[in-house]
Every structure is written in structure tokens, then in C-alpha cells.
Structure 1
Amino acid sequence: MMRTALIFPGQGAQRAGMLSALPDHAAVHATRSEAAEVLGQDWRELETNDALAGARAAQLALLIAGVATARLLASAGAAIDVVLGQSVGAFPAAVAAGCLSFADALTLVRARASHMASLYPSGFGMVAIIGLRAVRVADIVRQSEADGALYVSNYNGPLQTVISGADAALEAAVEAALAAGARKGERLHIATPSHCPLLAPVAAELREVLRGIPLQPPRIAYASASRARLITDPAAIAEDLAANVAEPVRWHDAASLLVERGVELFLQAPPGTVLCDPVSEAHPALRSVALDGLSLDSALYLARGDGASA
């Protein structure tokens, strides 16, 4: 039986200073230093407001924060049973599971983000529709396609769905969603139309890069947010990492799968609470806790699950 899941957010969760705000711990310092060496860049340059406006810095910063958090918890004896990442969060999940080296993850994420940005430098994006069921959002997407490319890209919760596409189509869809009873339509801090067929070329490039990168069977269970199932075969995990950029995220289904497998505690790696909120809404009887902002002692107390002191 699984008890604790460590979950990793995707692009949109980033914020200025997010790497400096990580706990003062040897595992965190080592992870940031390793990233700087591999990238040939001071990690502090990735966490400024200007840098985080671009896909490259945002995705790399999220990878570094996720891996640093997982390493900290592991070094303190935390009992993590399964990992699950949303979008680029799948890469720190794969590192935490023991499938992928951190250095290789940095190489892959840098390529992923750079190709995404070059494909769609402007005129596209993503919007979260809050307060309307996914089936109604899908209807609106179909009706709004005349205004440009538009897709349902994230099924985050029963009343939280993200759409991706051209700006004009997004604006038309938000107007229709609000008229249909949605509470709000919120533009995400993502300049590319992720998790839809428009990004198939990025998935194809990542498949080619992954051909030269060895993956190992997971030591901690690895769950896919795009397939909403556990994956154990290294080749299938490689395909999941490559393909997820062009496939819808089924976050609600993936989290529900883990609940069915016995997960009682969801711990979200920094930054923010973006993944905890839909889990808490769908499964109010479970604990879903963001590690961001918690003291190191409190985070380790929760993660160890045995009441041990830090």
C-alpha cells in the first residue's frame, strides 16, 4: 500500500526567488551547485522575474527546485512511496524515482523549453477555466475553434480545466465560459500552447535526444499525469517524458489513481500550492500539503510519517 506521494508542479507555478527560498540544507546547496555546473550558469540567474518570463528559466528552475526537495527528503529518511509530476514536473519526478540522472534531466528540460519557445514566441498561451465542468469546457472549445487553434490541455479537477491555443480563440472561449457560469478564466504565466498537438514537434525532438540517454527502472513508483497510470518500464517512462508536452494532462485522474492505491498524504514540492488545491477539492478527507513555506522541521515531520523529530 502506498501512503505518501511527492508531487511536482509544472510551468506557471514559478516565482521570483524560488530557488533562494528553498531550505538551508546540504542537499539543496549541492543540487543548485550541480545545476550551475551542468548549465554553465549561476542558478540565481534563473530565478529573476525577467528570466522566469521565459520557458527556459522557468522550466529549469522548477526542475532544480523539485530535485532539491526530493533529495532533501530522501537524505532525512522520508518515506516517499510514489512520485507524480505535472508537465515539466515529470522530469524531477523521474529523477526522484531513480529513472533519470539530474544532469540528463537538465539537458532534456533545456532542450524542451528552448524548442517550445522557438515554435511559439508570441500569440499563443494557456487559460485556466474555473467553476465549469470539463465536458462543458470541451463544448466551448469546439465552438471557439473558428477563432484559431484551441484545445483542452489540462484536466486538473472536476471544476478546473485548462485550455491552450491562439490568443483570439482563448479570449473567445473565456467569454463563452463566463457566460456559461464559470467563476473565472485565468491566463497562465505560460507563453506556449502546451499539452496539445501544436507541440508535437517538441515531443519528436525529445524522443531523439532520449535515444542517447539511459533510463533505469524506478526505485520509487513513477506515475504518469498524462496517462493516469503507474509506469515501470524505462522505455515507457522515456516516452512519457517526451510525449507529455503534446498530450493533455489528466491530473485529476492521476491523483485519483493514487488515492485508490492507498495514498493518504500528498506533498507538493515548491513553489506554490497549484497542485494541492485541486487534490484537496476532489479528496477533502486526505491531506494535501504544500512544502513551500513550511519550516524544515515541519516538512520532515510530515514526510517521515512517523513523528520523528528533525
Structure 2
Amino acid sequence: MSFTIPAPGVPGVFEEEVARRDPAAEPPHTGSALAMFPGQGSQRPGMAQHLLARYPDSAGRVLRDAGRTLGVPLAEICVSGTAEQLAQTEITQPAVLAVGLATYEALRGEHGFTPAAVAGHSLGEYTALVAAGVLAPDDAVRLVLRRSTLMAEVGKRVVGAMSAVVGLSSARVEALCRQGGTPGVVEVANYNEEWQTVISGEFAAVTEVGRRAGDAGAERVVPLRVSAPFHCSLMREIEPEFAAALDRCSFADPRIPVLSSVTGTWVRSGAQARRLLRAQLAGPVRWLDVLHTARAAGLGPYVETGPGRVLSGFARHTVPEATVRSTNDTRHITALLRAGAH
């Protein structure tokens, strides 16, 4: 599918990029797939077993190359690693990235999967940028390793937490976070769907806002198993060091349209992609906006490309009329290929 990348906006303040979000301002891409790449939280033991069994050359090569870049047996970890191993941020993030890349390469190289656009949830944005030709795979692996290491260091210095609030609007959750008397930092970290919002910050503050959410009528408040308070201002301290790592990598303009989970709209240039990856550390994930922009652009089906089915659930709840597919195992890949959703 041919497309035109819109001219880059004026470089500068991240808030200005968020403020000019307008799905209708972009040309529509009708009737073609959106590849959605998952982030941390989608990992599971054995998550690459089906890929290595069915695609030992294409998927296997991606996993082996990523392992060599990291200096760890990543393919082995993604097949036989324990839940405890995969729970370590420094392992989790490169592993989820590599499995997403391996899934995409298997589908693209062996079945001609050609999405009209790509998007990634938090960490998954790196996978999307590789798929779009913005980042080289090795650079993405190195950046994700540096990102995960820096995030883990924050987690060692701060007693942090994250919780998913289900059954309240994001506006209500935002108000609870701003309410006086909160014992520390707590902010919205993920706008996942209309009735699921994730909060992040210091443990006592997240616990207090979770209690308030329950009192306000939330269906559930689910503490997340994470090693650091991601996507909140507590991560701002690592921005300069991570920016230095970003500056050592080349960023090309997208060859496939990319929706950013930082702004919820299109990435216009490689330079903007670099800025957004820095902003992503302490900024919230605007996945609900990504799905709204995809709907406005006429994209479909929505194909979760990588481990897990979390993004498939968000898409079904937000765009109920759309066809949603996952690639979580051999059965789902077979169903995708039979449906010709590529």
C-alpha cells in the first residue's frame, strides 16, 4: 500500500505534539491491517516455543540475533525460561521485543503479512518502529536493554507500584490522583480502554488512590506485578541518560505509517520518533487514543503481533465492530492465515 508521511511538525515541546492530535487530519488507510505490538506484561514462559517449532529459520534467526546482541541465550529463555526469570525487567523487555520481532518476521517473510500501519503499546513501540524501518533491530534491542536497566535502577531507589483501575472513567481516576492528601507521587500511566486505567507512582500513594477508586465504585483495582513505577514522573530522572543512548542510534523516516502510544497519533519523522521514545519514559501510554485514531483512519483488521492477547481485548472493547486477531500460538496464527487478514 502506498502512503505519504505528513511533513514533520515544528520540533519542540512534547505537550505541543499531544495538543495537536487530530485523527481526522490524516489521510485514511482503508481496509488494511493494523499490526499491534504488545509491551511488558504480555510475557509468559514458553512464549516463543510455537515460533521456533514452526518457523525455525525466520523467527529463530531473529531470536538468535537478539540474543547475540544482548549476550544472553534469549531464544532459550523465551522457550524454557521460568516465570521468575521473565519477571526481571532487564530480561522481560528485550524478550517481549524479540518475540514480537520474530512473530512479525515469520508472518512477513513467510506469509507476506503487509500491514497498512503499525503501533506498539509502550515497549511495543520499539517493535513497531523496527517493523516500519525507523530503527535497526540491533539498535532497538540495545535501546530496550538500556531502557530496562535504567528503569530497574529507579525501581531499586523508589518503593513504587502500579495498579489497574477497572470500571471508572479515566477522568475520574485522574481526579482521584489529584485529590489532596495523597502521600506521594501517583499519576495515570496507561489509558488502555474506556473503563481501564493504570496508575503508577510511590507505593503508599498508589495504594491510597486504589482505595479511593474502590470507594468511588471501581469494579476492581488490580495491583500489577512490576519492578518499577513505569510511565510516571518518577522516571524523569533517567531521561537525560536515555536520551544519550537514543542519540547514538539512527532514526529513519517511517516506511509504514506508525501510530505512537505517546501521542495516540501518527509519527511523522525519525526525528519525532526519537523525541517520543524519550518522552515515553515518564509520559502515559495513550492506547485508547491509538485505537480511536486507527478507527478514524479506517484500519482493520487489528492484528496483535507477538505474545499475549491483552491488546486484542482492548481493541475488541474499544472498536467492537472490528475484526481482531492474535498470534499468541499456532492455532491463532493458523486462523489469521486462513482468514487472509494480511
Under TM normalisation by the shorter chain, which class is it? Answer: over 0.9
2: distance between equivalents of 1:145 and 1:216? 46
Most deviating of 157-166 and 71-80: 71-80
Aligned to 2:240: 204
1: distance between equivalents of 2:218 and 2:248? 46
Aligned to 2:10: none
Structure 1 position 169 matched with structure 2 position 205: yes
1:154, distance to aligned residue in structure 2 (A) = 0.8
SS of equivalent residue, structure 1 residue 292 = coil
Most deviating of 200-209 and 210-219: 200-209
1:285, distance to aligned residue in structure 2 (A) = 0.6
Aligned to 1:297: 334
Match of 2:184 among 148, 155, 161: 148
2: distance between equivalents of 1:14 and 1:233? 30
1:20, distance to aligned residue in structure 2 (A) = 2.5
Aligned to 2:98: 64
Structure 1 position 94 matched with structure 2 position 129: yes
- Alignment identity in percent? 30
- Partner letter of residue 178 of structure 1? G
Aligned to 1:45: 77
SS of equivalent residue, structure 2 residue 65 = helix
| Contact 1:4–1:267 (CA under 8 A) maintained in structure 2 | yes
Change (3 A) 1:229 1:266: same
Structure 1 position 261 matched with structure 2 position 300: no
Match of 1:273 among 309, 316, 323: 309
- Partner letter of residue 194 of structure 1? F
Aligned to 2:116: 81
| Contact 2:200–2:231 (CA under 8 A) maintained in structure 1 | yes
Structure 1 position 13 matched with structure 2 position 50: no
Give me the TM-score of the superposition, normalised by structure 2. 0.85
Task: Render the CA deviation track for 1:158-210: whole Å, top value 9, x for unaligned.
Answer: 10100001111111111111111111011122221111111113332221111
2: distance between equivalents of 1:249 and 1:198? 15
| Contact 1:9–1:275 (CA under 8 A) maintained in structure 2 | yes
Most deviating of 45-54 and 56-65: 45-54
1: distance between equivalents of 2:167 and 2:225? 20
| Contact 2:155–2:227 (CA under 8 A) maintained in structure 1 | yes
1:79, distance to aligned residue in structure 2 (A) = 2.3
Structure 1 position 120 matched with structure 2 position 155: yes
SS of equivalent residue, structure 1 residue 146 = coil
1:145, distance to aligned residue in structure 2 (A) = 5.7
Give me the TM-score of the superposition, normalised by structure 1. 0.93
2: distance between equivalents of 1:293 and 1:305? 16
Change (3 A) 1:217 1:301: farther
- Partner letter of residue 159 of structure 2? G
2: distance between equivalents of 1:13 and 1:246? 21
1: distance between equivalents of 2:97 and 2:246? 17
Q: Specify every segment of 5 or more residues in structure 1 that has no aligned partner in the other structure, as ranges.
A: none
Q: Specify every segment of 5 or more residues in structure 2 that has no aligned partner in the other structure, as ranges.
A: 1-28
Task: Render the CA deviation track for 1:231-263: whole Å, top value 9, x for unaligned.
Answer: 121110111122212111111011110111111
Aligned to 2:257: 221
Q: C-alpha root-mean-square deviation of aligned residues, in Å?
A: 1.6
SS of equivalent residue, structure 1 residue 22 = helix
Structure 1 position 33 matched with structure 2 position 64: yes
1: distance between equivalents of 2:139 and 2:175? 40
Structure 1 position 248 matched with structure 2 position 284: yes
- Partner letter of residue 88 of structure 1? L
2: distance between equivalents of 1:148 and 1:286? 41
2: distance between equivalents of 1:204 and 1:11? 23
Match of 1:106 among 141, 160, 166: 141
1: distance between equivalents of 2:334 and 2:43? 24
1:289, distance to aligned residue in structure 2 (A) = 1.9
- Partner letter of residue 46 of structure 2? G
2: distance between equivalents of 1:88 and 1:242? 12
2: distance between equivalents of 1:287 and 1:231? 24
Most deviating of 101-110 and 293-302: 293-302
SS of equivalent residue, structure 1 residue 7 = strand
1:144, distance to aligned residue in structure 2 (A) = 6.4
| Contact 1:126–1:191 (CA under 8 A) maintained in structure 2 | no
Change (3 A) 1:227 1:131: same
2: distance between equivalents of 1:54 and 1:145? 33
1:271, distance to aligned residue in structure 2 (A) = 1.7
1:52, distance to aligned residue in structure 2 (A) = 1.6
2: distance between equivalents of 1:18 and 1:257? 30
1:218, distance to aligned residue in structure 2 (A) = 1.3
| Contact 1:144–1:169 (CA under 8 A) maintained in structure 2 | no
